[in-house]
Amino acid sequence: MTTRMVEVRAKVMKQNDLLARALRERFRSQGTYVVGLVSSPGSGKTAFLEKLIAGLARDCRVAALVGDLATENDAARLRRATPNVKQITTGTICHLDAQMVEKALETWRLDRIDFLFIENVGNLVCPSNYDLGEELRLVLLSATEGEDKPLKYPTIFNNSDVAIITKMDLAEAAEFDLAAARRNIESVHPGMQILEVSAKTGLGMQAVFDLLHARAFSSTF
Amino acid sequence: MHELSIAISMIDQIMEESDHRGGLDVEAVHLRLGVFSGVDKDALLFAYELACEGSPLAGSRLVIETIPLVIYCEACGQNRTPPSVYQLSCPECGTPGQKIVTGREIEVASLEVAA
């Protein structure tokens, strides 16, 4: 049997990308600054976010979407900092996509939210292909995970905007090589901004608040 | 493993293309997959077969062309292939490369259909 070739040239992520773009426009028009967070499981995403939300909630209206395979534990923790928390339980799916975000937002008034955080499922591989319409993507790496994580997961470090090194209070005990970690991040994402924090002691958190304030209220947004 | 989600998106897109063209009898799908796409080739091949079951694409082949990582070196003014996917710098002058030219593709290039 003979065959013929049909040129297609179609991006596989097109549908998600289009929806993410529409979400981004909606967020911008409503004045909501959206920050995505990605990391491996147990990197301290929720503790970091809890501190971040509590700090920002003093003078801003803050909300969070939390992706998790199962359980509402993370959402329950974040509700201590703001009542505006919604859990997206993904079941067996290892990442959030733009459609899940759109659906979760259905009942929220975006014009009443200044900052929206989207905590992805703990995973450094799968979320990297899915644009969620966020303005800024933070990738978290904890001092206890080891400094070579960026080399193992170059894609997600490359397509995130800022790297946050968490659990810095444990750096010494874990014999964490900060200079090597910074070098590895620079190697997979030249010029990437890197901040070091400890959600527990509060170390470095001010720099994160400053960054978010500056980005959210800058003229480019 | 997000390759299953990717495979399902692929199938949706191919079916859309097929419908556009009045229905195609697809024998093979040619995919361009960048080494910096975050998608594993073998996992995708496995997921594709699984995702095709019970669809009009069941039994079709997935042919993957691997696209290398190429960055643009500002200092040399040239496209360069970095030493590895975890060292994004120019192999000639060592300048870190911020601009990725190829390597992120997940793209259905063409379909091989029964004539």
- Predicted complex: ipTM over 0.95: no
Query: CB-based burial of residue B14 (10 Å sphere; 0-12 exposed, 13-18 middle, 19+ buried)?
Result: buried
Residue in B9, B15, B24 to test binding to A, most A beta-carbons within 10 Å: B9
Beta-strand pair B26-34/B106-114: antiparallel
Domain boundaries defined on chain A: 31-216
Query: What's residue A190's pLDDT?
Result: 96
* Spatial contact of A152 and A166, defined as CB atoms under 8 Å apart: no
Return the minimum-mean-pLDDT range out of A17-21, A90-94, A144-148, A149-153. Answer: A90-94
* Residues of chain A positioned with their CB less than 8 A from the CB of B12: 15
Nearest to A102 by CA among A34, A38, A39, A56: A34
Q: Largest Cα–Cα distance of chain A, in whole Å? A: 70
Query: What's residue A188's pLDDT?
Result: 97
* CATH tag for A31-216 (out of 3.90.79.10, 3.40.30.10, 2.60.120.200, 3.40.50.300): 3.40.50.300
Beta-strand pair A33-38/A115-119: parallel
> A68 or A188: whose pLDDT is higher?
A188
* Residues of chain B positioned with their CB less than 8 A from the CB of A94: 1-2
- Contacting B with CB below 8 Å, chain A residues are 1-16, 93-95, 97, 125-126, 128-129, 150-152, 154-156, 158, 184, 186-191
Host domain of residue B80:
3-113
DSSP B5: H
Nearest to A144 by CA among A165, A123, A162, A160: A165
Instruction: Compare CB distances from A95 to B2, B87, B110 and report the shortest one's residue.
Output: B2
* Spatial contact of A100 and A86, defined as CB atoms under 8 Å apart: no
Residue in A2, A3, A7, A8 to test binding to B, most B beta-carbons within 10 Å: A8
Give Cβ neighbours of residue B2 (< 8 Å, ≥ 6 apart).
Answer: A93, A94, A95, A125, A126, A129, B39
Angstrom distance (rounded) from CA A56 to CA A209: 7
What's B90's domain CATH number? 3.30.2320.80
Query: What's residue A221's pLDDT?
Result: 47
Convert the pLDDT of each residue in A190-219 to its tens digit: 999 999 999 999 999 999 999 999 999 875
- Contacting A with CB below 8 Å, chain B residues are 1-2, 5-6, 9-10, 12-14, 17, 21, 24, 27-28, 30-31, 36-39, 85-89, 96-98, 100, 106-115
Domain count, chain B: 1
Convert the pLDDT of each residue in B19-64 to its tens digit: 999 999 999 999 999 999 999 999 999 999 999 999 999 999 999 9
* Residues of chain A positioned with their CB less than 8 A from the CB of B111: 5-6, 8
Q: What is the pTM of this model?
A: 0.93
Going from the C-alpha of A217 to that of each of A33, A50, A127, B93, B104, the distances in angstroms are 9, 22, 27, 39, 31
Q: Which residues of B88-115 are buried (b: 16+ CB within 10 A; e: fewer)?
A: bbbeeeeebbeebebbbbbbbbbbbbee
Altogether, the residues listed in chain A come to a count of: 221
Q: What stretches of chain A adopt beta strand conformation (E)?
A: 3-11, 33-38, 62-68, 85-89, 115-119, 136-142, 162-166, 193-196
